[in-house]
Amino acid sequence: MLSSQMSPSRRRFLHSATLAGLASPFLRFTSPPPKLLKPPRLRPGQTVGLVCPATAAFLQEEVEIAKESIEALGLKVREGKSLRSRYGYLAGTDEERAADLHAMFADPEVHAVFVMHGGWGCSRLLPLLDYDLIRRHPKILMGYSDVTALLLGIQARTGLVTFHGPVGASTWNAFSVDYLRRLLFDGEAVIYQNPTDKGDNLTQVENRIRTLRPGKVRGRLLGGNLTVLTAIVGSPYLPDWKDAILFVEDVGEKIYRIDRMLTQLALADILPRLKGFVFGHCSDCPPGEGYASFTLEEVLDDHIVPLQIPAFSGSMIGHIKDKFTVPLGVEAEIDAATGSIRLLEGAVS
C-alpha cells in the first residue's frame, strides 16, 4: 500500500540509496583516496551560482538579501532553477536540486557554487550526483550545516577541496568576509585564531578556547556539522579519516545526543584514526535539566581526551555570526594550546 502511494521521486531516491548502500563496503575498502583537486580562486566580476539543495527558501526576502550580499563581494549571481521552488519542505525534487548542482558545475560562466541555506535534504542528493562531471569542472563549493553532506561526499568521491563557510542566509559581516576573501580570493594559507579582545572586561569572556589536550599536529583537515556527518556514517560518501584532523560543530542539540554521536564516531572507527580534533561552537546546546546531566565539556573530555591527540574546543566554526571559512581536504597544523589552525597550503589554485 505504501509503495503505491509513493511518489516517483521518492522511489528513485530509495532505489539509488539502496544501491549505494550495497556498494559501500567495496567503495570504502578498495578505493584509494582520490588525488587532491583544488578549485580556481575567485576573482572580482566573476559569476557565482546560488543554489538551494536542501530545505526550501520560504522567505523570498532572504534570497534577495543573499544575492545582494554576494554582489557586494564584487561578484555576479546566477540563480539555480529550483532556488525559489518548493516540494514539501524541500526546494524542488531530488532530481531538480541535483540538476541545479550539475548545471552550475558544467556552466563555464559560473566560477563558484554558493548554497542558500541548510536545513535538510543534501544527503538525499549524494546517490544522484555525477561525480565525474564535478571532477572535470572543479569549482568552489561553499556552505555549512546540512551542506556538510555535499562537502564531505564530493570531497570523498572527487578529491575536490570544498569549503565550510557562510551560506546565503548567513550574516555577511566584516569578520566572516575577511576570512572568506583571504581564502577564496587571495589564495592565502590562512591561520585561524580566535580574536583575543577583552573589551571592557578584566579577562577574555567571549570566543574562549578550551584545550582538551595540548600539542601540535599536522594532518588533512576534514569535518563539518556533527549531526550530518554522523548521519552518513556507513555510506560511501565519507573520506578516509586516517591521520586526519577532524573539526565539528552543531546547533540545538541536547548533550546526550552529542554524546551519542561521538560514541557512533568511535564505534565506526573514525575517532581512533584521527591525529587531531577541533570542536567549534555548539550553539544552543545547554546541559539537561537537573544535576544528572553531563555538560558539553564533560562529554568532550570523556570521548576525546582518551584519544591522546591534540584537541581543543571553541574555534569560531559553526552556527555563529562571526565564522571562519575552512577548507576540507588540505593539509593543516593545529596548536591545541593556543587554539589555532594553520593551513600548510593554499586551498585554491
CATH number for the domain including 233? 3.50.30.60
CB atoms within 10 A of CB 135: 17
Tell which of 137, 172, 207 closes a domain. 172
The CATH number for 151's domain is: 3.40.50.10740
Same domain, 302 and 227: yes
Tell which of 125, 142, 172 closes a domain. 172
Known catalytic residues are 145, 249, 319
Same domain, 143 and 199: no
What pLDDT sits at residue 291? 63
Per-residue b/e over 112-129, b at no fewer than 16 CB within 10 Å? bbbbbbbbebbbbbbbbb
User: Which residues 6+ apart lie within 8 Å of 78 measured at CB?
Assistant: 47, 48, 49, 50, 104, 107, 109, 110
**Position 1 in a domain:** no
Tell which of 172, 206, 232 closes a domain. 172
What pLDDT sits at residue 132? 98
Handedness of CA 49, 50, 55, 60 (dihedral sign): negative
Same domain, 283 and 324: yes
Query: Using alpha carbons only, what angle is made at residue 176 by residues 155 and 207, rounded to the nearest 5 degrees?
Result: 100
Q: What one-character DSSP code corresponds to residue 61?
A: H
Same domain, 211 and 312: yes
Same domain, 199 and 313: yes
Residue at grid coordinates 544501491: 19
Same domain, 209 and 336: yes
**What is the C-alpha to C-alpha distance for residues 343 and 349, in angstroms, rounded to an integer?**
14
Host domain of residue 252:
191-343
Q: Which of 118, 157, 119, 125 lies closest to 138 in space, CA to CA?
A: 157
Would you give the distance in Å from CA 219 to the centre of its chain? 18
User: Which amino acid, one-letter code, is at 48?
Assistant: V
**What is the C-alpha to C-alpha distance for residues 279 and 271, in angstroms, rounded to an integer?**
13
What pLDDT sits at residue 201? 83
Same domain, 265 and 312: yes
What pLDDT sits at residue 32? 62
Q: Determine phi and psi for 343, rounding to 5 degrees.
A: -70, 135
Residue at grid coordinates 565539556: 297
Torsion of CA 229, 230, 235, 238, to 10 degrees: 40
**Position 25 in a domain:** no
Same domain, 140 and 210: no
**Position 154 in a domain:** yes
Contact 115, 167 (CB under 8 A): yes
Number of domains within the chain = 2
Contact 111, 143 (CB under 8 A): no
DSSP 90-106: BSS-HHHHHHHHHHHHH
pTM recorded for the entire structure:
0.90
**Position 163 in a domain:** yes
Helix (H, G, I), strand (E, B) or coil at 163: strand
**Position 150 in a domain:** yes
What pLDDT sits at residue 197? 80
**What is the C-alpha to C-alpha distance for residues 240 and 163, in angstroms, rounded to an integer?**
17
The pLDDT tens digits along the chain (349 residues) read 334 344 445 445 444 544 444 444 434 433 467 999 999 999 999 999 999 999 999 888 999 999 999 999 999 999 999 999 999 999 999 999 999 999 999 999 999 999 999 999 999 999 999 999 999 999 999 999 999 999 999 999 999 999 999 999 999 999 999 999 999 999 999 999 999 887 778 788 888 999 999 999 999 999 999 999 999 999 999 999 999 999 999 999 999 999 999 999 999 999 999 999 999 999 988 877 666 689 999 999 999 999 999 999 999 999 999 999 999 999 999 999 999 999 999 999 9
User: Hey, which residues does 211 pair with through a beta bridge?
Assistant: 312
**What is the C-alpha to C-alpha distance for residues 190 and 12, in angstroms, rounded to an integer?**
42
Would you give the distance in Å from CA 75 to the centre of its chain? 22
